[in-house]
Structure 1
Amino acid sequence: MAAPDSYADSPFTDAIDTVALPKGFSVPEMTLFEVTTDLCDHVSQYKQKMMVTIATGVSKEACMCKGFGSTLSGAALQWFVSLPNKSISPFVDLVNAFNQQFASSRRILKQPSDLHRIVQEIGESIKDYVTIFNRKKVAIRGCDTSTAINAFRQGLDKDSDLYKKLTMHPCERFEEVQQRATAALRLEEDIFCPEKER
């Protein structure tokens, strides 16, 4: 294990450690990871920011590895500096070690079946329902079209015209559901928010 006061020690193998970073390279600003932060969000955000920062021809692996520590704070930073000397080579090893250490900080992933819990509340507009449904659907990995369509329809107010149309004329693609919802939303806005006469 690396001694915290040893400047010569590095958690990275020589293949990473000996690569010089480009002059002027800096890690993009982002919220520092603390134990209470969702680790998957942190890693995803880091990857996205670095993807647009690292120039062509530069060792992406070295930049990804060497920059990661500067996005950590508190106990997470202490964990990073205490990684065993020369123990990390590709970035994926660093992410795996990070995930293992801070597994309790991982947000529980939603399942496609969770979409069936989203229902249009009494008095809730189609716009609000669609916004909430879409936000939650995007957060679910691997959600199949059939499940999304059925959950959307079943969550609607059973007396609404949109529910009736989706039941009588089922859609095969979720994009079709969104198109019908957009049409219903326009109608709803025309009825409840008519333009003022000029």
Structure 2
Amino acid sequence: MVKKTDSPFTTVVLECPVPSKFHLPQLKPFDGLKDPLDHLNIFKTTLGLQQPPDKILYCSFLTTLKGVAREWFTKLPTSSIDDFEQLSSSFLCHFVGGQHPKRPADHLLTIKQGEKETLRSYVKHFTRETLEVDEADDKVQLTAFKAELKSKEFVVSLAKNPLWTMAEMLLKTQKYMNAEDALVRIEEVEKPNKRERKGR
């Protein structure tokens, strides 16, 4: 149900039907003292693959604020927000003093997967560094991400089936991370058996 109220939104959701597969982002609450762009980017990245409607974004974003940030949210003028992009702009404008200078896009080319680093660790590292970069589009991110992959099998797969967005890359990478994790678990189970055979 959507109804006019004294909310900052031109229309506010009183009964917000949450999609069955929707997961609320588990973010460290923003208190107004840290970089607002970092917080907003992490929020958008976390919810990006779920692609929820604006009304879900409104409700979810409020749960990631505390202290002066939550107070700012509740004091927004009545009917001053039309969509989530406008809310994002208002949020950044108000808390811009806490922003850190961004790195150039070519910084992503310096991120390398270590010889023994797992794919999961590399993805976390790469994603974290992406948030520090100013205006890195999908093409730049994909190029930098693929350049330092250590798995030959994964690289060959990407060559055969090119991907065009970072969201697609992360979905495909998830499958390889799961497979990598499964192999590690198998090796951990086999290690004691190998030691037993050697001891006989």
What TM-score comes out, normalization by structure 2 length?
Answer: 0.49
Instruction: Select the structure of larger CA radius of gyration.
Output: 1
What TM-score comes out, normalization by structure 1 length?
Answer: 0.49
